[in-house]
Structure 1
Amino acid sequence: MTKNFKLSAITIAITLLCQANNVLAAEESSRKVANEKIEKIIVTGTFSGKAVAKEEASFAISSFSEEDIKRLAPKSTADLFKAIPGVWSESSSGVAGANVFVRGFPSGGDAPFLTVQLQGAPIFPPPTLSFLENSTLFRLDETVEFMEALRGGTNPVISNGQPGLTTNFLLKEGSEYTEGLVKYSTSDYGLQRVDAVVSGSLADDLFFMVGGYIKSSPGVRDAGFNAEEGNQFTLNLTKVLDNGKINFYTRQTDDHGVWYLPTPLNVEGVDNEFTQIGSLNRQASIQYGPEGNKTTETVDFGQGRGWNGSVSGGSIDLTLDNGWGIVDRFIYTSGDADTYGLVPNGSPVKLSTVADNGSTAFGSASGTEYSGDTDVQQIGRWVVKKQIEAFTNDFALTKTFDMGSVTAGLYNSTFSAKDWWALGNHSYHVIAPGGENLTGIDCNDNVDSCGWNYDINSVGEGRTTAVYLAASYEVSDAITIDGGLRRENHQIEYTVDEGLDGVITKAVSYDETSTAWTVGTNWMFAEKQGIFVRASEGSKMPFFDDFRDNFGAYQTGEDLIKDVSQFELGYKLSTNSYELYATGFFNEVKGDTFVATPGDPAEVFTNEAYGVELDFNYYSNSGFSINLNATLQKTEVTEHSDPLVIGNESPRLPSYQVRVTPSYNIDFSNGMYATLYGTLSVVDDRFSDALNTPAAVLEGYEKIDLGMILNLSDAVQMQLSVSNLTDEEGLTEGDPRDTLSSNGRYILARTIDFNVSYQF
């Protein structure tokens, strides 16, 4: 299928939507809607960093208020991303370690095309390092006022140049009035959590907000101990000036939870509540280092994955005389993002096939004798210690004219990561919740691993400096054109000791420059109704792990830059009673890579995708509202070293996903009021491997969530939410390390959460 046909199909679809909604607009204008919705203002994606009305933006962006986030009741930050059109988020790993995809961009895991921002600045400029994607570094709580999510658009030119998805979280700031909230949360899985936030005025035009949480639970999948523990503290100070404002904030987080991994799907008793880790295996010994000089260490794998660190920064936003304005944002991040996990290696087998005596073996912790028909599996005891640091500053100077504006910007970031890994350490375990390690199996008792080991010690430092120039011009009251150009220099210094023997096996000194651009046109052909067209070229620059995984290519002179081309056609309509945002997209990503097992050569390929994002909201003065969020896309691998892969769909990406979220507000005669809401999510089949093997199909699923918010008064509120009401056993992914194994990772099982809050 040619690109012209792809783009024509998208054009026709958008045109039909425009025509249909012109009819709806005419019908809407003939009636008066009493409860007008609040106009949505966005700041993410604008060249100047200044706010604009959402319907006037020439790019696809979604915004989520504090109330929206509350109704979605996400279990993690990545769980919230499921509500963003065009985004596929595999958030079943627990509180951290998600896999996030956008608009069919390829990825073997993590989230290479996602940047998470706080107050408009990236919390960590590398969007993904091995065992670390941006959402791991951010926790939702009552200090967040809203989130914006920009796909494509101006992304390649501004900030850190992320061509995919940028999510920007904005904090509450405070006002002249002292106000606050205290909330207690619990659940059917033993959650205990207390949130608190208070804000107000310290002096004239000086405002504060302070808040955070403390929590503990055995986890959604009961580990038999407090597997999820955490706390967070956030302080935000804002000084309002006559011509702008200055803002400073800091957020201290220490939060971790068990890493949920693929489990065997063909073993009785393994379902969406299953987790391998438990009291009998959370403490285990690993061996690492060179042969003949191995070190043995006992590790608590109950630590799981998480973030123990701080994110601090601020901004200066000033409007100067004669149409000049400046916005400067800065952010400093430092801390540890460690990973401890029990990782499956291959399919399960019967104990009799690996036991020394051909029949039985004994539990290392309990001494229990297990029969030969017991299902066992190699479980890797993986340890990743990761210390990161980054400092970023993004400065923009804007001159505004009667018919447009010009912005010049300077982006500068330094970042580092120090890694220590001990991967592998495979040993046969009983397949059961908390199934223990076994003795009486030769490789368990006499060697350091029944499979493979990969141990490294690495240090990486990088610097990205970019200048960008952008302009917008109002051709008429209805038509605006804009364009931007970015020139970026990217430097990496990186060394790796593979084997932990003190010998540097890979050394990198990298200095490359790339150019990105974007051009867009916005035509508001009616009040709050219009279309936009945008084209852009951007890139994802290589970071530390890209060099380790593709070291041979680096040595031969390849720059390892992933080139991204994008085209967008969007339609938007906003009225008092409904709004529709529909965006057709086409993109091509060249040079993407995938490594199935650490140390293996990387697969390099080119991927194309096209599709449509839909975001429709209807509001009624009767109290009823509904949101329809859908993504329809087609992906194709167009270049690959294996000819059998060319023409296949990209792994793990559904051709469609749909979310329908109705809600209904009820007022009671005694002064209480309530909101009933729910979400139906429908996900298509996916392939878990690049060969599109029929045996590796991940079947589609439907998931239902329900909830109720009851306001006993203006001050006291209760919320009950049920996630996965029918306890659907859908799969988010197979086993990325062995796509033909019988392993897969379930979506989270049914949970019931309850909270009560007091607002003052």
Structure 2
Amino acid sequence: MKAFGILLATTALVMPASALAQSDAADAQPAGTDASEIIVTAVARGQNKLDSSVSVSSLSAEAIQQSAPRSVAEIFRNIPGIRSESSGGEGNANIAVRGLPVASGGAKFLQLQEDGLPVLEYGDITFGNADIFLRADFNVQRVEAIRGGSASTFASNSPGGVINLISKTGETEGGAIQASAGIDYSDYRLDVDYGGKLADDLRFHIGGFYRQGTGPRAAGYDGNKGGQVKVNITKDFAGGYIRFYGKYLNDRAIGYLPSPVRVTGSNSDPKYSNISGFSINQDTLHSRYITRNVTLDGNNNPVVDDIRDGQHPVVKSFGLESQVEIADGWQVTERFRYSDVSGRFISNFPANVDSATSIAAAMGGVGATLSYANGPEAGQAIANPSALNGNGLLAQIVVFDTKLNSLNNVTNDIRLTRDFDMGSGKLGLTVGFYKSRQTVDTEWLWTSLLSDVVGGGKAALVNVRSAGGQLVTQDGVYGYGASYFGGCCRRSYNVDYNTNAPFASLSWTSDKLTLDGSIRYDFGDASGSIAGADLGGGRVGTISRDINGDGLISNAETRVSVIPLTSPAPVNYDFNYWSYSLGANYRLTPDLALFARYSRGGRANADRLLFGPAVSTVDGHLVDDNAAVDIVKQAEGGVKYRTGGLALYATAFWARTEEQNFEATTQRFVDRKYRAYGLELEGSYRAGIFSLTAGGTWTKSKIVSDALTPAVVGNVPRRQAEFVFQATPQVDVGPVTVGANVIGTTSSYAQDSDQLKLPGYTTVNAFLQYRPIERVQLSLNANNLFNVKGFTEAEEGAIPANGIVRARSINGRTISAAVRVGF
């Protein structure tokens, strides 16, 4: 497998020569270079790949479409060095880079950007991961990603790297409209974009999409519904340009959380198989009969939320970008964006899946009975629980109902650059200042349900009655809170995070040698308040309350979670850290270069630090000053080669990472350090009708210290595979293009205890395109053509006695067809 990965080399599709979103190609491109080789993400200025001492890859819009992604996380799987666990639906993916850990969720050490500014300042806000608010459509010109390197000094809170979605800006006249539909699943989508000149010095681009359908899994209702519109207009003038842009996103998509799967064999050699009546990669614990979440809102008033909202991002943003040449060769680049971000995350999480008889006895005592609370068989007794749906299982579900009142953010990046001739070389100077304000205003309004386990969107709620006839549940509700978690987690957050960062860089370039160094100082503060029973100090979070208004207090109504609104805890602390990066690149020949770099970067911890021991609930200050920031130190070095139709890049890397975090599903805090090293390979080759882009990343990672769970020291971090790879062979014959996008990974451990393994897997995404006449394209795409089960995470660290593991798999096979017309 390792030899196969080394043979592959890494994905890096060459993008077409076109506009750069962060700076126009004419402004950024050194003389004699190809615009397709200019990188603009997380660097001081646009720079040729072979002259840079950073690892960067890009994916063209065409390559993205061919790989048939069902989410942006599936796009990111094609970037070398990136581990993108694309099993959560349209968002909520866990994304890591080069062995850096995923101790909780989201993308902690990796920043997701649109046009050079972050989607959210923090990529791992609980239930507000940055990818939830990001959609790829015809507006995207290319995706550019930098791993390690100068990401530490040219972006805040992103020492692992930056992935940047770069937009079209109307430099190329024209556009396209595409209608697509699922063949073996329900999904209907319309994409459209158009750009061009309004005048000789004025251009624009507008585009977006709308879609509706069940989605890639059988939920029993339209789980995906919504769309996006983006627009920009650019005014060119002598010495620069100014661009204004806006975005409106309002979309709903199911957030797929772990589901039950049967595991036999041993922890080291497990065999994963579907539970009878439930497919782990094509079904979900969502149902047409489980759509209402009866709970209390953030002010403790009764409310009914719609589980069909799923991941519901609402984003209204506008911004500007400008580059201006001023006196004596100085150039100013300004980027600003304000984003009004809100919505909801609501999905069903199985706190426990076990036999119906065991759960009935645990909830209602010996002799407890079961009956359906809703659905086609509402009120009917379940006479033979052990044969229920052919699997005899029930799921104790906690509805992760989180209201995202505001994740608003405002960001500004301004920088001043100039080149100075220095005899045989050129000295480049960049100084700048970055400012952001990120709000985290959310409410956790969880409820506990009991459901049967059946696929096809047909699951129904179940009631439990004691042997004496007393109802333990109420209409399938066990408690109006996270009762299966001990009543925890009724929370509210209202905190603002301010980040300020002056930065500077110097670079010296001669005919063959490039040296550069950069430094950044991030400082800021967190202020606001939080409220919840988790805070302790006499705060009461569980009461009895008549939720249905019948004048009686049922058993379930004795388990009602409330937010202690009158006793919030303050948040009031500062943070600061230094980042630096030093690099060198030497061109041995015009086609061959060597590079090396050492960097130190940091990541300020945000909402996941709260409700834990690091922040005082009395005055909001830090109990542990070291908890505010996690530092990443990393070194890398490699070789770059490009000639004709062949490009090869190899990078060896090493990283040491601090990590303090909190995971909502396990209610577990983490305080540890990691070490990782490995080799990253990428390349592309074209000869006649055949082309190949491919890559592989080999990583050795381990936990080197742990303040809370020392038993895991020396273990491989959970879900960290030793080798991941991707390859896209393609053949173009006249009007026909056929190919496949292959994604694979070796096995990994489900948890840090290094017991239960998640098997390795390889998926194939096939594509066929036919262009019968000019400007018309017919396409057929198959995502996960062979319907592979690919497990990205599991809640259990070892096979339990009942053999049921709660895990997330990638989606099963989905085939779509599309008609595209260019104009």
| TM-score, length basis structure 2 | 0.83
Q: Is 1:490 the equivalent of 2:520?
A: no
Residue equivalent to 2:631? 563
Q: Deviations over 1:63-90 (max 9, x none)?
A: 1111111112211111110011111111
Given that residues 609 and 634 in structure 1 are in contact (C-alpha distance below 8 angstroms), is that contact kept between their aligned partners in structure 2?
yes
Q: Deviations over 1:695-746 (max 9, x none)?
A: x211111211211111122210111111111111121111279996611111
> Residues 484 and 296 of structure 1: is their aligned pair in 2 closer, same or farther, counting only changes over 3 Å?
same
| Partner Cα separation in structure 2 for residue 312 and residue 758 of structure 1 | 29
Residue equivalent to 1:501? 564
> Residues 45 and 280 of structure 1: is their aligned pair in 2 closer, same or farther, counting only changes over 3 Å?
same
Residue equivalent to 2:728? 661
Q: Deviations over 1:306-338 (max 9, x none)?
A: 311122212111233432111111111112141
> Residues 306 and 572 of structure 1: is their aligned pair in 2 closer, same or farther, counting only changes over 3 Å?
farther
Mapping of residues 278-317 of structure 1, within 5 Å: 278-286=287-295, 295-317=301-323
Residue equivalent to 1:369? 381
Residue equivalent to 2:464? 440
| Partner Cα separation in structure 2 for residue 398 and residue 336 of structure 1 | 36
Given that residues 58 and 533 in structure 1 are in contact (C-alpha distance below 8 angstroms), is that contact kept between their aligned partners in structure 2?
yes
Of the structure 1 ranges 221-230 and 363-372, higher mean CA displacement relative to structure 2 is found in 363-372
| Partner Cα separation in structure 1 for residue 526 and residue 181 of structure 2 | 46
| Partner Cα separation in structure 2 for residue 297 and residue 161 of structure 1 | 37
Q: Secondary structure at the match of 1:265?
A: strand
Q: Secondary structure at the match of 2:605?
A: coil
| Partner Cα separation in structure 1 for residue 714 and residue 429 of structure 2 | 43
Given that residues 157 and 604 in structure 2 are in contact (C-alpha distance below 8 angstroms), is that contact kept between their aligned partners in structure 1?
no
| Partner Cα separation in structure 1 for residue 659 and residue 693 of structure 2 | 37
- The amino acid across from 1:625 in the alignment is S
Of the structure 1 ranges 229-238 and 451-460, higher mean CA displacement relative to structure 2 is found in 451-460
Mapping of residues 301-700 of structure 1, within 5 Å: 301-351=307-357, 353-354=359-360, 356=364, 357-366=367-376, 367=378, 368-370=380-382, 371-373=384-386, 374=388, 375-386=393-404, 387-402=406-421, 403-423=426-446, 425-433=447-455, 434-441=458-465, 442-445=471-474, 447-448=479-480, 450-452=483-485, 453=487, 454-474=489-509, 476-498=510-532, 499=541, 500-551=563-614, 555-560=622-627, 561-595=629-663, 597=665, 600=667, 602-620=669-687, 622-640=688-706, 641-667=708-734, 673-693=735-755, 696-700=756-760
Residue of 253, 257, 262 corresponding to 2:249: 253
Given that residues 496 and 504 in structure 1 are in contact (C-alpha distance below 8 angstroms), is that contact kept between their aligned partners in structure 2?
no
> Residues 158 and 415 of structure 1: is their aligned pair in 2 closer, same or farther, counting only changes over 3 Å?
same
- The amino acid across from 1:444 in the alignment is T
Q: Deviations over 1:661-715 (max 9, x none)?
A: 1000001xxxxx111110222211111111112xx21111121121111112221
Given that residues 532 and 570 in structure 1 are in contact (C-alpha distance below 8 angstroms), is that contact kept between their aligned partners in structure 2?
yes
- The amino acid across from 1:467 in the alignment is P
Q: Secondary structure at the match of 1:444?
A: coil
Given that residues 596 and 738 in structure 1 are in contact (C-alpha distance below 8 angstroms), is that contact kept between their aligned partners in structure 2?
no
| Partner Cα separation in structure 2 for residue 713 and residue 37 of structure 1 | 30
- The amino acid across from 2:644 in the alignment is N
Of the structure 1 ranges 625-634 and 297-306, higher mean CA displacement relative to structure 2 is found in 297-306
- The amino acid across from 1:259 in the alignment is G
| Partner Cα separation in structure 2 for residue 698 and residue 329 of structure 1 | 43
Given that residues 334 and 390 in structure 1 are in contact (C-alpha distance below 8 angstroms), is that contact kept between their aligned partners in structure 2?
yes
Given that residues 180 and 190 in structure 2 are in contact (C-alpha distance below 8 angstroms), is that contact kept between their aligned partners in structure 1?
yes
Q: Secondary structure at the match of 1:654?
A: coil
- By how many angstroms is 1:287 displaced? 5.1
In the alignment, structure 1 segments of 5+ residues that lack a partner are 1-12, 18-35, 668-672
| Partner Cα separation in structure 1 for residue 396 and residue 214 of structure 2 | 25
| Partner Cα separation in structure 1 for residue 686 and residue 493 of structure 2 | 54
> Residues 521 and 295 of structure 1: is their aligned pair in 2 closer, same or farther, counting only changes over 3 Å?
same
- The amino acid across from 1:249 in the alignment is Y
> Residues 360 and 410 of structure 1: is their aligned pair in 2 closer, same or farther, counting only changes over 3 Å?
closer
Of the structure 1 ranges 748-757 and 428-437, higher mean CA displacement relative to structure 2 is found in 428-437
Given that residues 345 and 426 in structure 1 are in contact (C-alpha distance below 8 angstroms), is that contact kept between their aligned partners in structure 2?
no
> Residues 447 and 278 of structure 1: is their aligned pair in 2 closer, same or farther, counting only changes over 3 Å?
closer
| Partner Cα separation in structure 1 for residue 523 and residue 681 of structure 2 | 36
Given that residues 495 and 504 in structure 1 are in contact (C-alpha distance below 8 angstroms), is that contact kept between their aligned partners in structure 2?
no
Q: Secondary structure at the match of 2:635?
A: strand
Query: CA-atom RMSD, angstroms?
Result: 2.2
Of the structure 1 ranges 529-538 and 680-689, higher mean CA displacement relative to structure 2 is found in 680-689
Residue equivalent to 2:775? 715
> Residues 692 and 503 of structure 1: is their aligned pair in 2 closer, same or farther, counting only changes over 3 Å?
farther
Given that residues 391 and 414 in structure 1 are in contact (C-alpha distance below 8 angstroms), is that contact kept between their aligned partners in structure 2?
yes
Q: Secondary structure at the match of 2:76?
A: helix
| Partner Cα separation in structure 1 for residue 678 and residue 47 of structure 2 | 26
Count how many residue pairs are aligned between Structure 1 and Structure 2.
711
- By how many angstroms is 1:485 displaced? 1.0
- By how many angstroms is 1:447 displaced? 4.3
| Partner Cα separation in structure 2 for residue 602 and residue 637 of structure 1 | 15
Given that residues 686 and 698 in structure 1 are in contact (C-alpha distance below 8 angstroms), is that contact kept between their aligned partners in structure 2?
yes
Residue equivalent to 2:267? none
| Partner Cα separation in structure 2 for residue 75 and residue 316 of structure 1 | 33
| Partner Cα separation in structure 2 for residue 612 and residue 230 of structure 1 | 41
| TM-score, length basis structure 1 | 0.90
Q: Secondary structure at the match of 1:156?
A: helix
Of the structure 1 ranges 342-351 and 191-200, higher mean CA displacement relative to structure 2 is found in 342-351
| Partner Cα separation in structure 2 for residue 309 and residue 658 of structure 1 | 34
Residue equivalent to 1:702? 762
Q: Deviations over 1:452-491 (max 9, x none)?
A: 33211220112111111100012x4111110011112121
> Residues 750 and 37 of structure 1: is their aligned pair in 2 closer, same or farther, counting only changes over 3 Å?
farther
Given that residues 659 and 670 in structure 2 are in contact (C-alpha distance below 8 angstroms), is that contact kept between their aligned partners in structure 1?
no
- The higher relative CO (CA closer than 8 Å, separation ≥ 6) is in 2
Residue equivalent to 1:221? 217
Given that residues 448 and 479 in structure 2 are in contact (C-alpha distance below 8 angstroms), is that contact kept between their aligned partners in structure 1?
no
| Partner Cα separation in structure 2 for residue 751 and residue 140 of structure 1 | 18
Residue equivalent to 2:21? none
Q: Secondary structure at the match of 2:625?
A: coil
Q: Secondary structure at the match of 2:766?
A: strand
- By how many angstroms is 1:98 displaced? 0.9
> Residues 738 and 491 of structure 1: is their aligned pair in 2 closer, same or farther, counting only changes over 3 Å?
farther
Q: Secondary structure at the match of 1:608?
A: strand
Residue equivalent to 1:164? 160
Given that residues 114 and 127 in structure 1 are in contact (C-alpha distance below 8 angstroms), is that contact kept between their aligned partners in structure 2?
yes
In the alignment, structure 2 segments of 5+ residues that lack a partner are 10-32, 263-274, 466-470, 533-540, 542-562
- The amino acid across from 2:490 in the alignment is D
- By how many angstroms is 1:591 displaced? 3.4
- By how many angstroms is 1:289 displaced? 8.2
| Partner Cα separation in structure 1 for residue 92 and residue 589 of structure 2 | 44
> Residues 739 and 548 of structure 1: is their aligned pair in 2 closer, same or farther, counting only changes over 3 Å?
farther
Given that residues 148 and 167 in structure 1 are in contact (C-alpha distance below 8 angstroms), is that contact kept between their aligned partners in structure 2?
yes
> Residues 296 and 171 of structure 1: is their aligned pair in 2 closer, same or farther, counting only changes over 3 Å?
same
> Residues 717 and 447 of structure 1: is their aligned pair in 2 closer, same or farther, counting only changes over 3 Å?
closer
Given that residues 494 and 544 in structure 1 are in contact (C-alpha distance below 8 angstroms), is that contact kept between their aligned partners in structure 2?
no
Given that residues 535 and 568 in structure 1 are in contact (C-alpha distance below 8 angstroms), is that contact kept between their aligned partners in structure 2?
yes
- The amino acid across from 1:284 in the alignment is N
- The amino acid across from 2:258 in the alignment is P
